[in-house]
Amino acid sequence: MLYNILLFFSFLQSVVVFTLMSSAAMRFREPAKKRIMIGLFVMLCGISLLSYHLFTHGINSVDGFAILIILVIELSWFLICSEDYFFVSLFSFITFVNIYLAINYISDILAIHGEGPAFVINFMINRLVIYAVILPLLYKFVRPRFRRLVGALDKEWCAAGLVPLMFLIMQIMVLYYPSPYWSWNIENWNKVIIITVYMLFLAVYYLLYVQANAIVEKYALEKRQLLMAQQEKLWESELARQKVSVALAFQQKHDMRHHNAVIIELLKNGNVAELEDYMKSFNAAMDRSKTTVYCINPIVNSICNAYAQKAERAKIKIYFHMVVPERAGIDNVDLTCIFGNALENSIEGCLRLPENYEKEIIVTSKYMDGRLRIQVENSCCEGIVFEGELPKTQKKDGGTGIHSIIYTTEKYDGTYRFSVSNGKFTTQIVLNANEVIPKSMIQEGTV
């Protein structure tokens, strides 16, 4: 009876730790809490079924397919909770199956001299020690790097999935066929083969990571160069506006005596109507070169001015409610990426509407407690299709803007959300700044 109870806890340990390991690499599907609860319920049902069979029919009836039951439970966990693409989830699942089988083999070999309950206890302790070493490494080192690769790679995952699959086949063939590893004798060469397989496993995964990381760095460099070019154009546009403003200020100062002379002469002659027309034309000339101050951050202000002019030319109403400090704790290139792509997408969304349709964009930005919160809401057409949490692009070879926003947001451990409601498309972004800006350095602007 004690032996069966210990085996039950061994199965429970397998399910719990496999779940924790797989969660280290997984991106959870929304609503995450609901999905996790459903996944845990399915696990509970699977464990209950396994334990019932164990206590009613004994260990011999369960031993042959216990691992299969555990893998089915974990596969259900992936299908319920994972938001990742199919090949990413496949790569993760098979990889953790390989790790799980390898840990079981190592723990089993270390406890091989025990018998009965003593063997199960030693086996569980060995696994617990190995898991205690692996789990922190997965969450601290593996997860951020893996999530970066997931965000950057696409079709490459189709080929990457073959690597853990081939190792799984090799591991099963060596460990269980033609005879299982617990029946091996001391001179059995399979022990050397399986150790070689594990070393090869680590080497190939390391090479795979190096190659994938090189691809990511290449994509990141190209993206950064593109964003820097975009930022440079915005700076040039802002500089041109500043030059025009300075030149106009000098010209107005120089011509002020002439304006005053004209005004005085018109007043003397009582030509009030002509004076009014003259003043209107003078004000219009000043307004043409005016640069609006949306916020005190020069980069964001330049972007807002550029896209405000673009929206005005397209007859789109655009409103800004901006609070972005001069030093926001976010790299200027990344600010350009977020605001530039969000505003560009909002204008493109408005331009897809019929000409007689009222087009409107509302941009809201708030800085609070070291977080920059951004919301861009624009009029949009009906029938926008979502793939998971992301809207499906309506342009050929499009979608770069949204993926750039996602990449930059995750770089700052932030959050993003895209939604459609009542004819409005809303982009919501939260960025965690690298430094907290004092409240005295934050000013609000509404235009």
Residue 64, domain member (yes or no) = yes
CATH of the domain at 409: 3.30.565.10
Query: Which stretch of 60-74, 207-221, 343-357 has the lowest confidence by average pLDDT?
Result: 60-74
Q: pLDDT tens digits, residue range 313-339?
A: 899 999 999 998 888 888 887 888 889
Measured in residues, the chain has a length of 447
Q: What CA–CA distance (Å, rounded) separates 74 from 88?
A: 15
Mean pLDDT of the residues in the chain: 80
Last residue of a domain, one of 183, 208, 226: 183
As given in the structure block, the two tokens for residue 194 are 């399986």
Residue 142: how many CB atoms within 10 A of its CB? 15
Grade residue 211 by pLDDT with cuts at 50, 70 and 90: confident
Residue 254, domain member (yes or no) = no
Q: Are 207 and 181 in contact (CB under 8 A)?
A: no
As given in the structure block, the two tokens for residue 247 are 């030149």
In this structure, the answer to whether residues 13 and 157 fall within a common structural domain is: yes
Query: Which stretch of 100-104, 144-148, 320-324, 356-360 has the lowest confidence by average pLDDT?
Result: 144-148
Q: Is the dihedral of CA 276, 279, 284, 290 positive or negative?
A: negative
Report the pLDDT value the prediction gives residue 378, as an integer from 0 to 100: 94
In this structure, the answer to whether residues 171 and 311 fall within a common structural domain is: no
Report the pLDDT value the prediction gives residue 64, as an integer from 0 to 100: 57
In this structure, the answer to whether residues 312 and 166 fall within a common structural domain is: no
Grade residue 258 by pLDDT with cuts at 50, 70 and 90: low
Give Cβ neighbours of residue 439 (< 8 Å, ≥ 6 apart). none
In this structure, the answer to whether residues 30 and 163 fall within a common structural domain is: yes
277-288: burial string, b at 16+ Cβ within 10 Å, e else = eeeeeeeeeeee
Report the pLDDT value the prediction gives residue 426, as an integer from 0 to 100: 94
pTM tops 0.85, yes or no:
no
In this structure, the answer to whether residues 299 and 173 fall within a common structural domain is: no
As a whole number, mean pLDDT of residues 34-38 equals 88
- Pick the closest to residue 175 from 198, 156, 157 (CA basis): 198
Residue 150, domain member (yes or no) = yes
As given in the structure block, the two tokens for residue 235 are 């700076």
Question: How many domains does the chain divide into?
Answer: 2
Last residue of a domain, one of 183, 213, 243: 183
Residue 398 pLDDT more than 60? Answer: no
Residue 225, domain member (yes or no) = no
Last residue of a domain, one of 128, 158, 183: 183
Comparing 53 with 313, the larger pLDDT belongs to 313
Cα–chain center distance at 51? 39
Residue 406, domain member (yes or no) = yes
Q: Which domain holds residue 428?
A: 292-446
Query: Which stretch of 100-104, 159-163, 273-277, 349-353 has the lowest confidence by average pLDDT?
Result: 273-277
Report the pLDDT value the prediction gives residue 319, as an integer from 0 to 100: 94
Residue 380, domain member (yes or no) = yes
Residue 343 pLDDT more than 70? Answer: yes
Grade residue 117 by pLDDT with cuts at 50, 70 and 90: confident
As a whole number, mean pLDDT of residues 226-248 equals 65
Residue 169 pLDDT more than 80? Answer: yes
Residue 27, domain member (yes or no) = yes
In this structure, the answer to whether residues 179 and 298 fall within a common structural domain is: no
Q: What CA–CA distance (Å, rounded) separates 240 from 341?
A: 22
Residue 154, domain member (yes or no) = yes
As a whole number, mean pLDDT of residues 118-135 equals 88
